[in-house]
Amino acid sequence: MLATLRLWGLPLAALVVGLCFAPSLPALWHQWWDSGTFNHCLIVIPAAAWLVWEAERGRFCLDTEPSPGVQLNRVATFQTRLLRWLPHAALFGLATLWFMARLLSIPVVEQGALVAAIPTLAWAVNGNAWARRHRFALLFCLLATPVGEFLVPPLMELTATITVALVRLCGIPVLRDGMQLTMASGEFVVAEACSGIRYLIATVTLGLLFAHLTYRSLNRKLWFMLAAVLTPLLANGLRAWMMVMIAHFTDLQYATGFDHLVYGWLFFGVVIVVLFFVGSLFQESGASSLPQAADGSGASSLLQGADGSGASSLLQEADGSGASSLLQGSSSVVGASLLATLLLAWAPLANLAATQALATVKGDLPAYAFPQHIGTYTYAGPASFPTPLEYAGADRIDVAAYRNAEQTIYLAAIRYERDRPGHKFVSQSNQPYSWDWNRVGGGVGKANGVTVRYTDVRPKIRLGEELPGATSVLAGSAASHGSGAETVFRPWRLYSWYVVAGQTTVSDVKAKLFAVRDWLLPRAANAPPTIFLVGVPLAPGAGSSGADLPAAVVAAACQPTAGCSP
């Protein structure tokens, strides 16, 4: 039984965790299978299981019994007992984290807790000595978490910057407007697929495995991983430039459709082969796929101590010999397995109760009661917000216009009866403007003592686009093309803030925490979680402090929430 658990520790742990956290599996599988960014996650756990299998074959008797004559003093006994229950405490913490993430609708945390529970469960069942030998494989499992999409915007910015620099270096004029590049031959857009996030994450994952199998010294591993990060970043910028140049010189006949993706993947494949080939030239003798044996003589991993001895580890036994397993015998293994499973099983039961409670939420909210006067502004009736609002899961969106002698502003109340799956109060997909608007500035400011986030946006202007009262424009202001064009192409400053459980914030994390507190400790006086938006026409030369938001707007918006606090 011990031999079987040691050989099949990770696959069996994956099976048990999958059964306990079954509600999360469809979304996780969708990320792995359907998202090209995370296709590499499919091989992570099988690769880690292979590392453990290769290391454990023929080693069933290693580190299973205490060394003869070893006597542990009271301090050492306490330390070993403490370490014995460390993975079980971690399992309970991960189950709690998974449940809270389900409750708060935070998929990346939910899926990360699921993935982390797999090596943790294998550790809890097989003991600390086993986990210490296979620490690289266990930590490698964490790369199966589909995380990294937050890097897309900065990577798009980097790709656009490299592309424009190389195009101009070739002596070809190019006009950049956000992610839109305009050349004499046509327009090019740096889309999310051009960010290179797929190349970067896949290269780093494969690079970690390659470095572990190829090198022994920590320095070589770190140098190779630095190359594994920089190479896809630079190569993606070079790839984007090549696609633009091919399309430019062929009158957009090539590298603009399906062949664009084909050329990109072929180029990436060549770059990866060259990277690993160059890395293999520096392979160190004695490097092996097998983790080191208990005597510390085997190959080291990225987690090796600085002295190369492998002696320093959180999982090292108190006597320093690393010779005993903290869970001895089959009965101990069975007990540890049952306890570990129970520590995981409570979370799905609690999730089932929470799901039944959320099923009663109808999402039927009344119209928002806008005040008739806000400072010098007067209510002008329902209106459409000046930018397309991207809040697909909102239960109700109400917009009103307010006018004074100088201008018209717009106030939107985006409300959710309860933060729940499919109706996320805080989500990356929630945006106050759509893809055909460019963000040209933004930041955080104060209004009426409340911190608000502001974003300056304007519509994208395309080559040859017809405008009211004009023929066409290339880029720039539309002020000279008539009142219709001025309305369509006017830039706007969009202010936003969350109000939940009587608290205001611009922090996504705080808004989520306030939402779960409101869910666990509901108060009748609390209004539904609300996102407030204010659209103000952006005057030429407007400052960037955000303080020009009328303070009365924030005060009036907070009034219905009974205790809105900065």
Which residues make Cβ contacts (< 8 Å) with residue 19, sequence separation at least 6?
A: none
Identify the band that residue 62 occupies on the pLDDT scale cut at 50, 70 and 90.
very low
Q: Which of 108-122, 190-204, 216-230, 455-469 has the lowest mean pLDDT?
A: 455-469
79 pLDDT higher than 80:
no
The predicted-structure confidence for 207-228, as pLDDT tens digits, reads as follows 999 999 999 899 999 999 999 9
Rounded average pLDDT over 545-563: 51
Distance, in Å, from the CA atom of 290 to the CA atom of 303, rounded to the nearest integer, reads 14
541 CB neighbour count, 10 Å cutoff: 5
Identify the band that residue 150 occupies on the pLDDT scale cut at 50, 70 and 90.
confident
Residues 196, 229 contacting (CB under 8 angstroms):
no
Residues 494, 533 contacting (CB under 8 angstroms):
yes
306 CB neighbour count, 10 Å cutoff: 7
560 pLDDT higher than 80:
no
Identify the band that residue 332 occupies on the pLDDT scale cut at 50, 70 and 90.
low
Rounded average pLDDT over 371-382: 87
- Give the chain's length: 566
DSSP three-state, residue 171: coil
Average pLDDT, the chain: 75
Determine the pLDDT at residue 44. 93
Determine the pLDDT at residue 482. 35
Determine the pLDDT at residue 436. 80
Determine the pLDDT at residue 551. 57
Determine the pLDDT at residue 525. 55
Rounded average pLDDT over 248-254: 74
The predicted-structure confidence for 170-192, as pLDDT tens digits, reads as follows 888 888 877 888 888 778 888 77
Q: Which of 75-89, 96-110, 392-406, 455-469 has the highest mean pLDDT?
A: 392-406
475 pLDDT higher than 50:
no
- Say how many Å lie between the first and final Cα of the chain, rounded: 59
Q: Which residue has the higher pLDDT, 426 or 5?
A: 426
Determine the pLDDT at residue 438. 81
Beta bridge partners of 408: 403
163 pLDDT higher than 80:
yes
Rounded average pLDDT over 528-532: 89
Identify the band that residue 65 occupies on the pLDDT scale cut at 50, 70 and 90.
very low
Q: Where are the beta strands (DSSP E) in 384-509?
A: 396-403, 408-415, 437-447, 450-459, 492-500, 503-505
Q: Which of 155-159, 190-194, 531-535 has the lowest mean pLDDT?
A: 190-194
473 pLDDT higher than 60:
no
pTM metric for this prediction: 0.68
546 pLDDT higher than 50:
no
Determine the pLDDT at residue 317. 38
105 pLDDT higher than 80:
no
Q: Which of 6-15, 64-73, 111-120, 326-335 has the highest mean pLDDT?
A: 111-120
305 pLDDT higher than 50:
no
Which pair of tokens denotes residue 370?
């806008």
**Closest alpha carbon to 263 in 234, 232, 233, 241:** 241
Identify the band that residue 550 occupies on the pLDDT scale cut at 50, 70 and 90.
low
Determine the pLDDT at residue 254. 65
Distance, in Å, from the CA atom of 304 to the CA atom of 271, rounded to the nearest integer, reads 29
Q: Which residue has the higher pLDDT, 476 or 129?
A: 129
Is the Cα torsion angle 156, 157, 162, 163 positive or negative in sign? positive
Determine the pLDDT at residue 327. 39
Identify the band that residue 203 occupies on the pLDDT scale cut at 50, 70 and 90.
very high
The predicted-structure confidence for 494-525, as pLDDT tens digits, reads as follows 989 898 877 888 888 888 888 777 776 766 55
Determine the pLDDT at residue 9. 74
17 pLDDT higher than 60:
yes
Phi then psi for residue 482, to 5 deg, are 100, 165
477 pLDDT higher than 70:
no
